[in-house]
Amino acid sequence: MEQLAYQMLDVEQLLANYATVSQNKYGFFLCRKGEADILLDRHNFHIEAGMLCLYTPYTFIRIVRHTDDIEGYLMEGELDAIQPALSSIAVAERFAIRSHPCVKLNGEQIQRLEQTVGILNERAGLFRVGGNARSARLLHLLVQSLLQTLCLEVLEIYFNCIPVEELPQNREERIFNLFLMSAFRNSARERSVAFYASEQHLSPNYLSSVVKAKSGRTAIQWIETFCILQAQHYLRQTKISVKEIAYRLHFPDQSVFGRYFKKHCGVSPTEYRDWKQRGEPSQT
């Protein structure tokens, strides 16, 4: 059976994983309850009920702070699947989404979005149940069409709302956010705190203290997290060999990479790939 080109994500899972990267995907979060401060790339935003946040491919996403009652719709779709909807807007407007990703919706706009999401999820549920080949093919096409409809609905609502301004940042917050973005981009090659400290003309000890104070995690833990996220992406989304993945992530050899991956994920790269291909939960 063909895979659907979108998924509804679990907000609790995002909270537990500290952060995520959108990879080759577009997505949105509609906050229905509670409040949160989120980091999109190196920009901080405060969101609350009724706000919509969009994110573009390879956006770094982290929930910095949230209330216990945070709830909402978190959905992302493959870039290829929603490209037809994106082609309807100018390139400059796509850049506007990246620089001003959050907007405040009114009640009618929230209702429209929820109705469209509900119809899409209902038809996707029928597709997952399965049936004869003709029915499955038609339902797959229907889900693709509804996904395009949802994308256009989101974009139409977004461009009719006033963007939410980002939160101001003090010096330590800027240092921390710049570190996160650099670690996200460079962890495949650079895994020493000294490298990231030198980028900002800081001592490794000072950078480490800022990162620990702002996140409760060490700089090394963040670097390792980004490296593992890239490894997991290669294992889930590509067919390249484990040896090639080790090379791309600049490990000395496959065995060193395998030990590193198992230390952080509890399973070998091959086991992780096999579980994900079968759709079974891994130990990560």
Question: How does pLDDT run across 246-264, given as a tens digit for each residue?
Answer: 999 999 999 999 999 999 9
Q: Which residue has the tokens 């989101």?
A: 154
d(CA 20, CA 24): 12
Structural domains of the chain ordered from first start = 6-158 (2.60.120.10), 171-278 (1.10.10.60)
With beta carbons less than 8 A apart as the criterion, state whether 70 and 12 touch: no
Of the pLDDT bands very low, low, confident and very high (cuts 50, 70, 90), residue 94 is: confident
Q: Note the pLDDT of residue 284.
A: 41
DSSP 171: H
Question: How does pLDDT run across 72-81, given as a tens digit for each residue?
Answer: 888 888 877 7
Classify residue 211 by burial, with Cβ atoms within 10 Å: 0-12, 13-18, 19+: buried
Residue 9 tokens, joined: 């994500």
Q: Which residues contact 57 (CB under 8 A, 6 or more apart)?
A: 22, 23, 24, 25, 26, 79
Mean of per-residue pLDDT scores for the chain: 88
For residue 45, the SS3 value is strand
d(CA 267, CA 57): 28
What H or E segment, with its residue span, contains residue 233? helix 219-237
What H or E segment, with its residue span, contains residue 56? none
With beta carbons less than 8 A apart as the criterion, state whether 56 and 100 touch: no
d(CA 153, CA 155): 6
Chain-centre distance of CA 154, in angstroms? 18
Classify residue 283 by burial, with Cβ atoms within 10 Å: 0-12, 13-18, 19+: exposed
With beta carbons less than 8 A apart as the criterion, state whether 39 and 180 touch: yes
* pTM over 0.85, yes/no: no
Of the pLDDT bands very low, low, confident and very high (cuts 50, 70, 90), residue 63 is: confident
Of the pLDDT bands very low, low, confident and very high (cuts 50, 70, 90), residue 279 is: low
Mean pLDDT of 232-254: 93
With beta carbons less than 8 A apart as the criterion, state whether 131 and 142 touch: no
For residue 32, the SS3 value is strand
Residue % of the chain over a pLDDT of 90: 55
Q: Note the pLDDT of residue 280.
A: 55
Q: Note the pLDDT of residue 282.
A: 45
Q: Note the pLDDT of residue 17.
A: 64
Query: Which is higher by pLDDT, 131 or 182?
Result: 182
Q: Point out which residues pair with 73 in neighbouring strands.
A: 30
